[in-house]
Structure 1
Amino acid sequence: MAARARLERLLAAPSPFADDDGAMRPEVSAALEATDLPRHQYLDRLWAVLVGGRLIVPVAAHALLGRSMPSGSQSVGLSREGPLEVPAHEVHTTDACQDAATLAVSLPDGHIALPVFTSAGAMSRWRSDVRPVPVSPQRAAQVACLSTDQLWVLDPGSRDLRLPRPAVVALAGGESWAPSWRNEPVQAEVRAQLEDVDGVTGVAFGPGEDAELRVFIRIDAAGGRASVARSLEDCQYVMVNPAWGDLIDTVELCPLPA
């Protein structure tokens, strides 16, 4: 009864999206369909339209069957090859996003992400036992940063699209996001640190094919393979610094012996 009462208060609370019919916004649909774009341009364009409107998060319409888990996120496995593993937990708070965090999904790389949806239809294809609640992108980002690995997965069950972590972090803090492949201040910081590595004679940047940022490193090969290997190892050490985590999602190093 208490859970039902909390859900009723949640649904009765004033919402800036009270007239939302759950349909996908046309600009989001257009961005999703632009699959002919390179990956980096596709994500850049998609992010811009996602944060300009609303997202939908899943809230359980009732307590799920099984053992109650009163606190902590309960992850749902994300897999295309079998049914989703539905965890036992109790939900319903006064915050729809916080409820959604209890339905977090496990990504193939082991990270935990907040499920967000472009439409009520996309959500119902994922699970039929949850209720769609429209929320602001910033609030969804804030809860993702507090309750998951600072990640969103867009339309799990259909698109399963992991969105860049630095974008979610920036949105949670009310800041705009520029991907590192076109973010000159970030590139300047990376360049300064890499150029301090012995043997590095030049650094350049571009969008990656499978990563957000591709870093081209020119290494003096005069000292032989062992020297080049040491320089590359030192460059890798620079780039695995956790401090880059809020600025660069994923990076690939491309050594160019001089």
Structure 2
Amino acid sequence: MAAALAARARIERLLASPTPFSGDDGSADPFVTAALESTGTPRHEYLDNLWAALTASRVIVPVAAHALTGASNTAHVPGPVLTRAPGHEPHTQDAAQDAAALAVGLPDGHIALPVFTSAEAMRAWRQDVRPVPIEPLRAAQVAVAKTDQLWVLDPGTRDLRLPRPAVVALAGGEDWVPSWRNGPVQAEVVAQLGAVEGVTGVAFAPGEGAELRVFVRIDACGGMAGVAATLEVCQMVMVNPAWGDLIDTVELCPLPA
């Protein structure tokens, strides 16, 4: 009981302390809402515009009202699986770190920091947590340190996974330049794929289901077996984890020539 009361007192001090958002009423930023509602925009532009709006605003993170205890790391609630970050001690006087204790499991097995556009969106997710507005920079730093360098926006309603390179760039105080319009990143992809035997050209476009679409022209003189062998090496190049901080997801499109 004493531990629970102490934990409650710590979170109350955290929430009562002066912050840049002391007057925040928990409403969604109109610019963020406008970006979210522009669903007719192509996917790559949609994410680009949404990210710009989010980082110019504030995000809301969930903080448990009391210490999270028990052996299970999973809370059985609607929506994505909720997991507790290993070794995390609740109520650290840092709301973003406390939010990492409520990290969200994504369908692909990765873990993301839950961030919200409004207190209402958070209440739709869970009723037993408190909304705390924080700077996007801090949310990104904790996501990089405590999760798989990912945000999930409005879990339980939107469940929108935001790109790893965007979170990593923000955590480092840099602007995110998506790979579909990032010249230096594309130049490095060309250098690596161009060194593969059988590759005669590389081109790029925004992906439809991924961040970047990479077109690879492959010499077909060696027949389909040769094309398949070249494509396999290209796939190995692009699945290198080193691309993780630069390219979120890739569609590799071979063009036999």
TM-score scaled to structure 2, two decimals? 0.92
Matches within 5 A, 1:66-105: 67=70, 74=73, 76=75, 80=79, 91-105=90-104
Q: 1:251 to 1:75 in 2, by over 3 A?
A: farther
State whether residues 207 and 251 of structure 2, in contact with CA within 8 Å, keep that contact through their aligned partners in structure 1: yes
Which residue in 2 is equivalent to 1:222? 221
User: In structure 1, how many angstroms separate the alpha carbons of the residues matched to 2:240 and 2:83?
Assistant: 36
Q: Identity rate of aligned residues, in percent?
A: 72
**Displacement, 1:137?**
0.3
Amino acid of the residue matched to residue 150 of structure 2? Answer: L
User: In structure 2, how many angstroms separate the alpha carbons of the residues matched to 1:231 and 1:159?
Assistant: 39
1:49 to 49, 53, 72: 53
**Displacement, 1:59?**
0.5
SS of 2:107's partner is: coil
State whether residues 166 and 177 of structure 1, in contact with CA within 8 Å, keep that contact through their aligned partners in structure 2: yes
Q: 1:77 to 1:251 in 2, by over 3 A?
A: farther
- Are 1:175 and 2:174 counterparts? yes
SS of 1:221's partner is: coil
- Are 1:204 and 2:203 counterparts? yes
**Displacement, 1:63?**
3.2
Which residue in 2 is equivalent to 1:21? 25
User: In structure 2, how many angstroms separate the alpha carbons of the residues matched to 1:86 and 1:247?
Assistant: 26
SS of 2:175's partner is: coil
State whether residues 26 and 118 of structure 2, in contact with CA within 8 Å, keep that contact through their aligned partners in structure 1: yes
Q: 1:29 to 1:148 in 2, by over 3 A?
A: same
SS of 1:145's partner is: helix
Amino acid of the residue matched to residue 117 of structure 2? Answer: T
**Displacement, 1:91?**
2.5
Matches within 5 A, 1:124-143: 124-143=123-142
State whether residues 75 and 103 of structure 1, in contact with CA within 8 Å, keep that contact through their aligned partners in structure 2: no
User: In structure 2, how many angstroms separate the alpha carbons of the residues matched to 1:247 and 1:76?
Assistant: 32
State whether residues 100 and 115 of structure 1, in contact with CA within 8 Å, keep that contact through their aligned partners in structure 2: yes
State whether residues 78 and 108 of structure 1, in contact with CA within 8 Å, keep that contact through their aligned partners in structure 2: no
**Cα RMSD, aligned residues only:** 2.0
SS of 2:252's partner is: strand
TM-score scaled to structure 1, two decimals? 0.92
Q: 1:102 to 1:80 in 2, by over 3 A?
A: closer
Which residue in 2 is equivalent to 1:60? 64
Which residue in 2 is equivalent to 1:9? 13
SS of 1:122's partner is: helix
SS of 1:198's partner is: coil
**Displacement, 1:2?**
1.7
Which residue in 1 is equivalent to 2:185? 186
Amino acid of the residue matched to residue 40 of structure 2? Answer: D
SS of 2:93's partner is: coil
User: In structure 2, how many angstroms separate the alpha carbons of the residues matched to 1:79 and 1:34?
Assistant: 26
Which residue in 2 is equivalent to 1:161? 160
State whether residues 124 and 157 of structure 2, in contact with CA within 8 Å, keep that contact through their aligned partners in structure 1: yes
State whether residues 82 and 104 of structure 2, in contact with CA within 8 Å, keep that contact through their aligned partners in structure 1: no
What is the CA deviation profile of residues 130-174 of structure 1, one whole-angstrom value per residue up to 9, with x for unaligned ones? 000000000000000111111000000000000000000000010
Q: 1:191 to 1:90 in 2, by over 3 A?
A: closer
State whether residues 82 and 103 of structure 2, in contact with CA within 8 Å, keep that contact through their aligned partners in structure 1: no
Amino acid of the residue matched to residue 67 of structure 1? Answer: G
User: In structure 2, how many angstroms separate the alpha carbons of the residues matched to 1:49 and 1:77?
Assistant: 32
Q: 1:179 to 1:77 in 2, by over 3 A?
A: farther
State whether residues 82 and 102 of structure 2, in contact with CA within 8 Å, keep that contact through their aligned partners in structure 1: no
State whether residues 216 and 254 of structure 1, in contact with CA within 8 Å, keep that contact through their aligned partners in structure 2: yes
State whether residues 168 and 245 of structure 2, in contact with CA within 8 Å, keep that contact through their aligned partners in structure 1: yes
State whether residues 68 and 90 of structure 1, in contact with CA within 8 Å, keep that contact through their aligned partners in structure 2: no
Q: 1:216 to 1:78 in 2, by over 3 A?
A: farther
Which residue in 2 is equivalent to 1:114? 113
